């Protein structure tokens, strides 16, 4: 399970790679993690917005977008963040 130092590293990685980047698409591999929001509603809310800021609280990472939405990450046992550049 990622501990506090690893979550802080995820936050720093996010700030170096994701901030001010436009969200052009989402790939959801496990719909269980969505909780009470549908995949279509999440895509509607996030696509074409930009990542604005990242905050860590304990083992949670909170990501704010420019449209005032928040994504909340808890990395569980083996979680990680990956950044992929758009090839277009």
Q: Is 20 left (phi over 0), alpha (psi -120 to 50) or beta?
A: left
* 1 pLDDT more than 70: no
Residue with tokens 């550049």: 85
d(C-alpha 8, C-alpha 84), whole Å: 20
- ∠7-86-5 over CA atoms, to 5°? 10
What is the pTM for the complete model shown? Answer: 0.82
Residue linked to tokens 């690893």:
6
| pLDDT at residue 88 is higher than 70 | no
Q: What is the mean pLDDT of residues 66-83?
A: 86
Q: What structural domains does the chain harbor?
A: 4-28+38-74 (3.20.190.10)
The confidence score (pLDDT) of residue 70 equals 93
For the four alpha carbons of 13, 26, 67 and 76, in that order, the dihedral sign comes to negative
pLDDT in tens, 12-61: 999 999 899 999 888 888 888 888 999 999 999 999 999 999 999 999 99
């Amino acid at each position: 399970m990622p501990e506090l130092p690893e979550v802080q590293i995820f936050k720093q990685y996010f700030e170096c790679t994701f901030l001010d980047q436009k969200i052009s698409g989402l790939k959801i591999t496990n719909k269980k993690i969505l909780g009470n929001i549908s995949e279509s509603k999440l895509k509607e809310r996030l696509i074409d917005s930009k990542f604005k800021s990242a905050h860590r609280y304990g083992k949670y990472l909170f990501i704010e977008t420019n449209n005032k939405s928040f994504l909340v990450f808890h990395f569980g046992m083996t979680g990680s963040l990956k950044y992929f550049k758009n090839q277009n």
